[in-house]
């Protein structure tokens, strides 16, 4: 590695996987304080930080490919310039494959697993020969509009297809005061706070009295600088009438957007999956809509789970037709090493999984297009995220029913003499709708 400045570590960062990983990356970079200077080009870096995902096979393959590219480029840089950046690999892939990964990739200088996540700053500082500057804020990477607030680590459910408990360990909540302090700081920079956790409804179940999701939500709602509050990863079992009543009574800044990972709709498949809730997801949807008739619903489904028959899949299709989700993600089942589902009989052929995914997404595209068309002629609040590089006066934002990274966007036109401020919420008259996206004028 090249000789480092005492005050600057030029850092090139790749954060893969979910928003929870992104928060881990931001916290680590923030802990380095003013030492950390972000760079956009690999060749300029003193530190290459790759935070990996190892949840399913495609994510694992992407993470491995990214690491291989980094170590190859670092070797080439050493050969051509005599300078080698320190390559640091962190996250879920490290925790999942551990020593095998280290044996296969000795070129990596520093490994950070999720079991030691609170020690990451100290471990990185030691490898970089730096003194940590003390308490420092997160280094936000999401732009001027929103930030994620990760409220917990790990998961204590035992879904038979999932690797998360073995990678991240059991559920562990961050204390309410810590999260409220972080939220105040974040909301001084961005208007939208998005609560994330492997199971957000389980927040505080491992803490004492006064540290639960209602207490956290009341504290967040009282922060005047939070304009939009969105909660992701709401497990069905946790969406009780008492929680929904609290959310309804809270009102602003809470957005009636419900991200509920159902995974399937047929009771036989749900039972086989070991999902931690009653076998009828329709009851959960009805309960949410009884409190929030205007709710925007998002979910994810797994198709091709072992033993899923055509009848099971048709029941899922019928459920989606009836429910009419705003947003829907569909994933073909992956047999992950070490999970009980991988050893089950009746594995579904890959071509069947892909065909079922495509059929369900085609159905959802039709539903989404109809829902989006319903907004034409209405005026909706839109959070402005960035300006188009190609078209002056055109901005990209999100309506309240569009979460970042996973949903569609809203394109907003504004007169050249009236530029919009990034991170502002403006009223937009919707003029056109696509399958997932909207467009309109201020």
Mean per-residue pLDDT, 313-322: 98
pLDDT at 247 over 70: yes
Average pLDDT over residues 411-429: 94
Say what the pLDDT of residue 33 is: 87
Find out whether 92 is annotated in a ligand binding site: yes
Which tens digit of pLDDT belongs to each residue from 116-138? 998 999 999 999 888 888 778 88
> Which tokens go with 291?
């409190």
Helices (H), 327-410: 350-373
* CA–CA gap between residue 289 and residue 189 (Å, rounded): 33
Angle at 194 between CA 169 and CA 29, to 5 degrees: 65
Average pLDDT over residues 77-92: 92
For residue 333, which of 300, 291, 293 has the smallest C-alpha distance? 300
Residues 300 and 65: their CA atoms lie apart, in Å, by: 26
* CA distances (Å), origin 365, targets 100, 328, 360, 397, 437: 42, 9, 9, 21, 11
pLDDT band at 3 (very low <50, low <70, confident <90, very high): very low
pLDDT digits (tens, 9 = 90+) for 24-64: 999 999 998 888 899 998 889 999 999 999 888 899 999 99
DSSP code for 263: B
Two structure tokens written together for 315: 């029941």
Note whether 230 and 195 are within 8 A (CB).
yes
Enumerate domains of the chain plus CATH numbers: 9-128 (3.40.50.12160), 146-373 (3.80.30.20), 379-441 (2.40.50.140)
Q: Is 88 annotated as a binding residue?
A: no
Q: What is the pLDDT of residues 326-374, one digit of tens each?
A: 999 999 999 998 899 999 999 999 999 999 999 999 999 999 999 999 9
Please tell me whether 162 is known to bind a ligand. Answer: yes
What share of the chain has pLDDT > 70, as a percent?
A: 98
Q: Is pLDDT at 2 greater than 50 in this prediction?
A: no
Residue 282 has pLDDT above 50, yes or no: yes
Q: For 164-309, where are the alpha helices, taking DSSP H only?
A: 164-168, 176-187, 213-221, 241-250, 267-273, 281-291
Q: How does pLDDT run across 219-228, given as a tens digit for each residue?
A: 999 999 999 9
**Whole-number Å distance between alpha carbons of 407 and 385:** 14
pLDDT at 7: 65
Confidence of residue 278 (pLDDT cuts 50, 70, 90): low
Where is 412: in which H helix or E strand? strand 410-413
Query: Is pLDDT at 161 greater than 80 in this prediction?
Result: yes
Residues 52/67, Cβ–Cβ less than 8 Å:
yes
């Amino acid at each position: 590695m090249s000789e480092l400045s005492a005050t600057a570590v030029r850092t090139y960062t790749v954060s893969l996987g979910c928003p929870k990983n992104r928060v881990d990356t931001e916290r680590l970079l923030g802990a380095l304080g003013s030492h950390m200077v972000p760079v956009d080009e690999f060749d300029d870096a003193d530190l290459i930080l790759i935070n990996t995902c190892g949840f399913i096979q495609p994510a694992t393959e992407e993470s491995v490919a990214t690491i291989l590219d980094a170590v190859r480029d670092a070797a080439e840089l050493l050969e051509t310039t005599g300078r080698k950046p320190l390559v640091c690999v962190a996250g879920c892939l490290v925790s999942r494959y551990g020593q095998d990964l280290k044996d296969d990739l000795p070129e990596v200088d520093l490994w950070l697993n999720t079991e030691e996540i609170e020690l990451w700053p100290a471990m990185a500082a030691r490898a970089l020969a730096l003194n940590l500057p003390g308490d420092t804020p997160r280094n936000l990477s999401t732009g001027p509009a929103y930030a994620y607030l990760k409220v917990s680590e790990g998961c204590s459910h035992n879904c038979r297809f999932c690797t998360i408990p073995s990678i991240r360990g059991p559920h562990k909540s961050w204390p309410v005061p810590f999260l409220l302090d972080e939220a105040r700081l974040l909301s001084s920079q961005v208007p939208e706070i998005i609560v994330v956790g492997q199971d957000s409804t389980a927040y505080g179940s491992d803490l004492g009295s006064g540290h639960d999701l209602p207490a956290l939500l009341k504290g967040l709602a009282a922060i005047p600088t939070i304009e939009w509050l969105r909660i992701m990863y709401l497990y069905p079992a946790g969406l009780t009438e008492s929680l929904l009543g609290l959310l309804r009574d809270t009102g602003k800044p809470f957005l009636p957007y419900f991200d509920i990972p159902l995974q399937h709709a047929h009771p036989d498949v749900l039972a086989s999956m070991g999902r931690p809730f009653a076998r009828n997801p329709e009851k959960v949807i009805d309960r949410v809509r009884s409190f929030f008739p205007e709710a925007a619903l998002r979910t994810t489904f797994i198709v091709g789970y072992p033993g899923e028959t055509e009848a099971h899949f048709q029941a899922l299709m019928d459920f989606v037709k009836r429910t009419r989700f705003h947003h829907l993600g569909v994933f073909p089942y992956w047999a992950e090493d070490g999970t009980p589902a991988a050893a089950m009989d009746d594995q579904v052929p890959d071509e069947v999984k892909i065909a079922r995914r495509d059929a369900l997404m085609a159905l959802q595209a039709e539903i989404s297009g109809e829902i989006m068309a319903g907004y034409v002629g209405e005026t909706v609040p839109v959070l402005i995220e960035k300006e188009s590089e190609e078209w002056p006066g055109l901005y990209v934002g999100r309506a309240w029913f569009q979460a970042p990274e996973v949903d569609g966007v809203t394109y907003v036109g504004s007169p050249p003499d009236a530029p919009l401020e990034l991170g502002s919420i403006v009223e937009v008259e919707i003029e056109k709708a696509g399958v997932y996206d909207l467009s309109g004028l201020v």
